[in-house]
Chains A and B, each alone.
Chain A
Amino acid sequence: MENKPDKVVYMDHSATTAVHPKVLDAMLPYFSERFGNASSIYGLAREARRALDQSRQTLAEGIGAKPEEIIFTSGGTESDNLALKGVADALRSKGNHIITSAIEHHAILHVCEYLSKRGYEITYLPVDKHGIVDPDAVGRAITEGTVLVSIMHANNEVGTIEPIAEIGRICKERKVVFHSDGVQAVGKLPIKVDELGVDLYSISAHKFYGPKGVGALYVRRRTPLIPQAQGGSQERNRRAGTENTAGIVGLATAIAMAEERRDDYNRKVGALRDRLIAGIQERIPSVCLNGHPTRRLSNNVNFCFQYVEGESILLNLDLMGVAASSGSACTSASLEPSHVLLAMGVQPEIAHGSVRLTLGYDNTEQEVDYVLSILPEIIERLRSMSPLYSKAGAAAGGGNG
């Protein structure tokens, strides 16, 4: 096994990314120097107003929207909350049915649970073994009372890319409002709101080298939406609260950069992803790649390592200087393994052994090779301790799923 590297090998970019130096530079003047409140009247405030207008324009251009269709928020979770609760409230007299999928982020699923307690009917569409939602199933689920469909653009755990444009066409035909959580997609997939056919789209800056605590919700013109925060006329009365000027400037700078280097990112990061996937499959028996083999984000690697538990793998990786994450129950307060893997039909005991490695622009081939050099030994050591392994090892004969 190689020696632990001096610098942490960071492979958890779907959790968050470092703020890019260019983004930080663009943000800094808006903390202490141009600190004005954009709603005030004097010169200092006008500077902030100009920065907000410019940022709104940049983001709108990036996703093919109009500036007035952008609401800046505190991030992906708030955007998802505003989209679901805002549309559900606005269309309450039309119906109470919402369609989503079983593999959404908790920022969607927990809001749906909340809405179901308040009298809404929620349909959770199943996914296939690769985590894909069937667009025809969306069509079949729509009823007279359906007010909203919400399907994520790309899954945060397994990286599966959903057929959003097809679902968008169906929703448009059936005149149902369509929201997509695009938090993992920005910077990796082309996002043009008209081509995707979305009425609402959630964005979070810290997933693409922007700062934490800032995001946006795209809302197509004439989409009914009841604000969920009162107390000011900011964001055209749709989201009260003094604007996070520095954060918003950071978001805009980050999205412009992400769009500019998207092809390069996908080429470079995609090659590292393929090297890591192939290397794990070659070196470690009884593993299973979670997600779709090709319709997946360029930075996502997610494996189940049979007979071992995910958190144990992560702790060992951490001891060796590698930062990764897991869909494992033990990383949260819940006993259940990943709801995404379970929805894809993975057995619970196998789902417990999942590890997600999400790559980024700064990862190198050397780092991928380092992970490949230490991972087989970690898995082997944990398997030698596992009461499931001796039993299964003889029966399964090291089947390489």
Chain B
Amino acid sequence: MYSDLVMDHFSNPRNVGEIPDADGVGTAGNPVCGDIMKIYIKVKDDCIEDIKFKTFGCGAAVATSSMVTEMVKGKTIEEALVITDKAVAEALGGLPANKMHCSNLAATTVHKAIEDYRSKVGAGSR
């Protein structure tokens, strides 16, 4: 039911892990629905210099998490904010219809990490 590209990202997920001194952390989903994504970003000169994820969820949840990290790594904050959940699913060659809702939250999670980063920067000395 999954495309080869989804299975590739599921079997060999890119950028798995945590960033201990992350500049921003975002979480989306909930355990009752069966999908939780957590994304860590490191920002330098308004660019996402490094990104890591941890995900509890089905094949689609893992694959979208992995894919979004590839899509936003090295991009500016503004570029990352334009990427939608739908765009991530499209980059994977599509997802089964029943996976489009609960398991497709990777871009949302990145946006939350960016929000977290901005709130920290805003609260800082700048």
Contact = CB atoms under 8 A, between A and B. Distances in A.
B84 to A, nearest CB: 21
Contacts of B59: 311-312, 315, 330
Contacts of A97: none
A247 B97 CA distance: 35
Interface string A322-353: 00000011101101010000000000110010
A315 B37 CA distance: 19
Contacts of A311: 58-59
Contacts, number: 75
B31 A348 contact: yes
Interface string B9-52: 01101001010000000010001111111100000000000000
Interface residues of A, number: 25
A337 B34 contact: yes
Contacts of A389: 56
Given A315-B10, A388-B36, A309 B57 contact: yes
Contact of A329 (B10, B34, B97): B34
B61 interface: yes
A335 B102 CA distance: 7
Nearest to B37: A387
A312 B32 contact: no
A349 B62 contact: no
B121 to A, nearest CB: 24
A319 to B, nearest CB: 6
A115 B78 CA distance: 54
A311 to B, nearest CB: 4
- Residue of A310, A319, A387, A388 most packed against chain B (CB within 10 A): A387
B54 A332 contact: no
B103 interface: yes
B87 to A, nearest CB: 22
Given A319-B11, A385-B13, A385-B16, A330 B54 contact: no
B118 interface: no
Contacts of B31: 348-349, 352, 388
A319 B8 CA distance: 11
Contacts of A312: 10, 57-59, 62
15 contacts: A307-B56, A309-B56, A310-B58, A328-B34, A328-B58, A329-B102, A330-B58, A330-B102, A352-B31, A385-B13, A385-B55, A387-B54, A387-B55, A388-B56, A389-B56
